[in-house]
Amino acid sequence: MHDDKLHEPRPVTAGVDRGQLAQGMEPMGKPAVEFRDIDIFYGKFAAVRKFSLAIGKGSFVTLLGPSGCGKTTILRSIAGLVDISSGQISIGGKRVDDIPIYKRNIGLVFQNYALFPHKNVFDNVAFGLKYRNVPKAEIVRRVGKALEMVRLPGSEKKLPSQLSGGQQQRIALARAIVFEPEVLLLDEPLSALDANMREDMRVEIKKIQKETGITAIFVTHDQEEALSMSDRIVVMNAGVVEQIGTPGEVYDRPATAFVANFLGKANMLPGTVSAMDGAMVTIALATGHTVRAASPKSLAPGSAVTVVVRPQKLTVCAAAIANRLAGRIVSTSYLGGNAVYEIDIGGNTPVRANTLIDGQPLREGEPVDVGFDPKGCVLLDAQGVRIE
């Protein structure tokens, strides 16, 4: 049983309406893929609400969010594996949500590879071409080309069991691109790989996508994957869009508290406006400190705000530090060329600083000063929405 109140429609919280969100992603000319006000219900449960997005040809777009946010449901709706309840999906300007799966020119890479264990590499890659009645000579040519693209030429006679996990993923990718689909869909394809292989495959997938010029839609809950691979990121939560933007935009200027917390670590410092001075606002933090921050609009004294500062934006022990906050190191994580410090500045939660170091890291228990540039933070209002 789902609690219907938990899934009532709620407005998009990125500071713009749904139409503006769609325009924010709209490419020059005809979009390669376009969603218009997509709703997807399972009974009374709203899995996706008013999802609008336009994707440019040849771009790499990632749907990012926690489990259950609707990202995989959206991906499966493009492929025709999930029926939409309302709205419209178009590929290359042609509506596809009302046509059968086999008539959609889609390549799909699954999380579990979905290779036929009893078929060799050639037959796995050629499978879709045979069903499209492609001539044998052309099948041989295309399979060879696809295997070269995924850096596995000469592997045609091997069985999947003779390949590593990374190689199997490459074969799944070759099978998806061999028939030159209009759109490539990737459903968390790296989740079964170890950390080193994941990093290698990120580079390979992005390289192949650029070489082919194919439009790719990638689903993941891994923030690092999204930031490193994407041209645009669509951050989703509870079936709706929280923010759309480049990796730099969504990381450096999170539109909501959810985006700030989900996409990487963020220091959230609640406080109250005490004064405005031109474009600068003075804020009394709940920790007892006073800081200044750049504000895009005038804020009334007494207004509740939250200062969002990424760990990379916090400076530790600088001589000429702005917004100086006295504290004490709670924990130190040494990562070679940099260190991550948890620093108690008062309040309920330590702040986190990720900084380059020269020599030995600071020790736990040491008193330190941390600070941040007034222009290096984002302000959220009482509803957790970025102040603009």
Q: What is the pLDDT of residues 276-322, one digit of tens each?
A: 998 999 999 999 999 999 999 999 999 999 999 999 999 997 666 78
Assessment of whether the complete model's pTM goes beyond 0.95: no
Q: Where are the alpha helices (DSSP H) in the chain?
A: 18-25, 71-79, 121-131, 136-149, 165-177, 195-212, 223-229, 247-252, 257-262
Q: Given CA atoms 131, 137, 140, 146 in this order, what sign does their dihedral have?
A: negative
Instruction: Give the total residue count for the chain.
Output: 388
Maximum distance among all Cα pairs of the chain, rounded to whole angstroms: 75
Beta bridge partners of 386: 380
CA dihedral angle for residue 303, residue 307, residue 308, residue 312, rounded to 10 degrees: 170
Whole-angstrom CA distances from 351 to 281, 310, 341 are 21, 10, 8
314 three-state secondary structure: coil
**In this predicted structure, what is the pLDDT of residue 128?**
87
How far from each other are the two terminal CA atoms of the chain, in whole angstroms? 39
Task: Domain ranges for the chain, please list them.
Answer: 4-105+181-261, 267-380
- Distance of alpha carbon 339 from alpha carbon 341, whole angstroms: 6
Residue ranges, the chain, pLDDT below 50: 1-26
**The predicted structure's pLDDT at residue 82:** 94
Q: Residue 236's beta-bridge partner residues?
A: 241
256 DSSP 8-state letter:
B
pLDDT of residue 29: 66
Task: Identify the pLDDT of residue 5.
Answer: 33
What is the CATH code of the structural domain delimited by 267-380?
2.40.50.140
- Domain 4-105+181-261 fold: Rossmann fold (3.40.50)
- Report the alpha-carbon distance of residue 122 to residue 144 in Å, rounded: 9
The whole-number pLDDT of residue 14 equals 38
What's the pLDDT score for residue 229? Answer: 94
